[in-house]
Amino acid sequence: MQRARAVYEAGSLLKILFATPSLSMGKRYGTLAGAGSSVPTLGILQLSAVTRQHGFETFLLDAAALNMEQAALLARLAEIGPDVLGLSATTLSITHAAAIAQAAKQFMPGLKVIVGGPHISAVPVETMERFEAFDVAVVGEGEETILELLTVLSGAKPLSAVAGIVYRDASGVRMNQRRPFLTVLDILPRPAWDMLEGFPYRFSPPVFKTRRLPAASLVTSRGCPNKCIFCDRSVFGASCHMFSAGYVVDMMVELYDKFGVREFCFEDDTFITFQTRLLEICQRLIDLKLDISWSCLGRINQVNEENVLMMKRAGCWQISFGVESGSGEILEKIQKKVTLQQIRNALQLSREAGLLNKGFFIVGHPGETKETLQLTYDFIMDSPLDDISVTMLTPFPGTELHARAAEFGTLDPDWEKMNLLNTVFVPYGLTESDLLQAQKKMIRDFYLRPHIIGNYVKRALRNPAMINSLLRGFRSFVRSI
Ligand code: B12
Ligand code: SF4
């Protein structure tokens, strides 16, 4: 950051608007649109805080989270009149990002468009070649790169000198070397929640992950050391860097005091991986006696009695586990590096500590058969689970599975379909209909059990403010099955 500060001081200041492309709930969640969430996009919240801190006039428009139509986004863009438009996109939204960039350039010919996020980090060159409306792409972590880039765009240095970008010159698309990850995240300002219109009341986190409102999602660590072959880790890779316990808890206190947030959803891939930090966060929360509840993702082989008990005492109510499959062979094939026995133990420990368990499952794995689908079904029905999510295996570009897809099945490589719900990958020996039917059966038979319905009724009675979103979710669930 020091390095970036020195660079930026050499240039004149540009005006930047960070945005996400408009993306309908239907595109994102298909028939489950009613249960879908609209959660602020943390990447651009973080970047906005950084550019603002360094004196750049900064605007933020999270069109995806606000369910804003493209026309409304473009109208707002014209009003703001930035020099630079910074778009954040996933694979699902990259085509929409390109459409916005192209439309914007028609009425703002001098506008520079920078794109960042998971998709461009996975396939930077191909994407830049496909979409000419993007001027520069930022690969990986964006905080240092955006500061340096804004300076360069004012003419201070050539683009060839900026690490972590892909750009165009007379000879075509050029890719510079990647920028090293930040070593200390605590130097970053907190996400610019205050720039987010209507936060937190205007946003609705996933109903299955929220116990009360208002709620906020947080990502407090970056990178994952594991290598599941279907997972896109192109932004932060295997690096494991994190905000300190003190930083995390101060951020929660700010959200609690200033914005009234009472529920936190930790979306970190590896929230419980850093055990010392986890226990320190819990201890600080216990000491502060805040009236909050929270949930997080957990890796199976990192659950132990000490941490789940501490988590419960500190206000945690749910852990979501990436179980993926009920077949040991499939778990090996996808390199999950956990056994079914470890999964059962973790779910049991968490249940005994009084936490609710959510399991993420995927259908359509490489090597999937009707028998392995049945094993997953049996696992779902027999395990101490309180919630599940069953998605379609989606080999995102940049993943090992994308490169090896033809070994295992047929892939529809259409980026616009990659929302985890469309069947873009069908393993040899199965049909799309086999996968859809298996998915429906798992969801239907799991949820239509009296104790699961009873839990939801209790949840609604305990938090009447959640009734509307629970009903919306229930209606979508019924439609989808
Ligand atoms: C929280 C989360 C969500 C939340 C919030 C979405 C969000 N974009 O913040 C919700 C639940 C809404 C969500 C939805 C979806 N998600 Co999601 N999500 C995540 C998760 C767990 C964390 C994202 C995050 O906040 N990271 C922390 C921030 C700081 O990092 P970042 O966003 O990557 O931003 C940094 C850089 O990318 C870069 N950068 C990003 N944007 C820009 C823009 C510019 C201009 C610049 C310069 C730099 C830059 O700088 C940032 C700071 O360093 C990631 C996994 C992960 N660990 O990253 C998956 C992930 C991003 N999601 C994924 C998917 C598939 C989806 C959905 C399609 C699933 C679905 N149907 O629900 C939707 C798509 C939504 C959309 N708008 O396109 C995939 C994307 C894969 C891909 N190649 O597209 C990921 C990578 C998970 C995975 N491994 O498969 N998601
Ligand atoms: S699926 Fe989870 S554990 Fe596996 S690589 Fe991705 S983030 Fe890591």
CA of 226 to the centre of ligand 2 (A): 6
CATH 3.20.20.70 maps onto the chain at 204-480
The pLDDT assigned to 449 comes to 93
Q: Which ranges of 87-177 would DSSP assign to H, the alpha helix?
A: 94-107, 118-122, 124-130, 143-153
Number of the ligand closest to the Cα of 224: 2
Select from 28, 42, 421 the residue to mutate for testing ligand 1; criterion: most ligand atoms less than 8 Å from CB: 42
Give 320-356 pLDDT, tens digit per residue: 999 999 999 999 999 999 999 999 999 999 999 999 9
Q: What is the mean pLDDT of residues 305-321?
A: 97
d(CA 263, CA 477): 24
CA of 157 to the centre of ligand 1 (A): 30
Of 31-40, 80-89, 252-261, 283-292, where does mean pLDDT reach its minimum? 31-40
Considering only CA atoms, give the Rg of the chain: 22
d(CA 336, CA 325): 10
Pocket lining: 231 vs ligand 2, CB cutoff 6 Å = yes
The pLDDT assigned to 8 comes to 44
CA of 229 to the centre of ligand 1 (A): 18
The pLDDT assigned to 206 comes to 78
Number of the ligand closest to the Cα of 391: 1
d(CA 241, CA 180): 12
Of 3-17, 263-277, 279-293, 364-378, where does mean pLDDT reach its minimum? 3-17
CATH 3.40.50.280 maps onto the chain at 2-175
* In contact, 111 and 105? CB cutoff 8 Å: yes
Residue 406 predicted with pLDDT over 50: yes
Q: Which ranges of 184-274 would DSSP assign to H, the alpha helix?
A: 245-259
Pocket lining: 233 vs ligand 2, CB cutoff 6 Å = yes
Give whole-number Cα distances, 442 to 32, 57, 282, 382, in Å.
15, 50, 34, 12
Residue 4 predicted with pLDDT over 80: no
Give 221-242 pLDDT, tens digit per residue: 999 999 999 999 999 999 899 9
Give 119-141 pLDDT, tens digit per residue: 999 999 999 999 999 999 999 99
Q: Which two tokens stand for residue 12?
A: 């004149």
Q: How many CB atoms lie within 10 A of CB 190?
A: 15
The pLDDT assigned to 371 comes to 98
417, burial (CB in 10 Å: exposed 0-12, middle 13-18, buried 19+): middle
The residue type found at 103 is: A
The pLDDT assigned to 82 comes to 97
For 244, residues 6+ apart whose C-beta sits below 8 A from its C-beta are 186, 277
The pLDDT assigned to 33 comes to 62
Q: Which CATH number fits domain 204-480: 3.40.50.2300, 3.30.1330.200, 3.20.20.70, 3.40.570.10?
A: 3.20.20.70
Number of the ligand closest to the Cα of 337: 2
The pLDDT assigned to 457 comes to 85
Q: What is the mean pLDDT of residues 163-177?
A: 95
Residue 298 predicted with pLDDT over 60: yes
Residue 480 predicted with pLDDT over 80: no
Q: What is the mean pLDDT of residues 30-54?
A: 86
Pocket lining: 228 vs ligand 2, CB cutoff 6 Å = yes
Of 185-189, 213-217, 429-433, where does mean pLDDT reach its minimum? 213-217
- Confidence band, pLDDT 50/70/90 cuts, at residue 102: very high
Pocket lining: 459 vs ligand 2, CB cutoff 6 Å = no
- The secondary structure of 338-397 as a DSSP string is --HHHHHHHHHHHHHTT-EEEEEEEES-TT--HHHHHHHHHHHHHS--SEEEEEE----T
Residue 5 predicted with pLDDT over 50: no
Give 66-83 pLDDT, tens digit per residue: 989 999 999 999 999 999
pTM over 0.85: yes
Give me the half-sphere count of Cα atoms (radius 13 Å) on the Cβ side of residue 106: 7
Q: Which two tokens stand for residue 355?
A: 């936490």
- Confidence band, pLDDT 50/70/90 cuts, at residue 31: low
The pLDDT assigned to 156 comes to 65
Assigned CATH class of 2-175: alpha beta
Report the side by side order of strands in the sheet with 15-20: 57-62, 15-20, 84-88, 112-116, 136-138, 165-169, 172-175
Pocket lining: 322 vs ligand 2, CB cutoff 6 Å = yes
Label residues 256-292 b or e (16+ Cβ within 10 Å = b). beebebbbbbbbbbbbbbbeebbbbbbebbeeeebeb
